[in-house]
Structure 1
Amino acid sequence: MVFEKIHSDIMKIDPGIRLVTACGMDGKILFSDHRQRVKNLLSPDESKKSLQMAINSWKSRAELAPKIGKGKYVLAEYEKIKRITMPLDDSHLLYITAEVGADHARIIDTVQKINT
């Protein structure tokens, strides 16, 4: 899988996208990069913790999948950013942050099309 290409394609969707990370369900980061001139809101350790919490939440949701179906995405909106997590495949997760004003519906829809 070419994670740099996926990152590039996602960054083109909306100028409000701040960060795209592709990781394994074990937490190993396969590719991650911020948009140029974007200031990190979290320290590197806080970023790793946030990513690990997203992965753990995704794993918990997967336990319910036999009854409710596989998760498609999760959107968390905070005062300063939006965070979208979605499966890249069965063993990889996309972790995307965007500005609050970014069109998350368009981002999600386009990423799902890129990913098929």
Structure 2
Amino acid sequence: MRKRIKHRTPTPGAVEQIKPEIVEEEIMPFVLRHEDEIINYIKDKATKETLKSLSPLLEKLEEAVKQQDCQSSEAAEAPAIMNYEEQLKKLQEASMAKVKEKELKIAERMNKLNTRLSNIRK
């Protein structure tokens, strides 16, 4: 069932109201015929507005990526500058640290074994 809208007489300078008969008879068939086009138009507009609102964030992200690339390239250049002796010293220090860790583990195991043996003897 359709409700009838009561029409007021327009006041001077006011926008003229559209009669419901015109909407139903003329505009709705147009909308139904061009439904896909209207939907695509609305999607395009929404996408453009979203990209406009996101553009400052995207610019900041691009700047951050550029800065990170610069920092990583500087960090990559630093080891290449070291000479052979410095690299050798670093490798020796790293290997000594590993040896010390293994010695500590062995000492812990020996202590555990000694405590077990002493408990067995009692």
TM-score (norm 2): 0.21
With a CA cutoff of 8 Å and minimum separation of 6, indicate the structure with the bigger relative contact order.
1
Flag the structure with higher helix content.
2
User: Max radius of gyration: which structure?
Assistant: 2
Flag the structure with higher strand content.
1
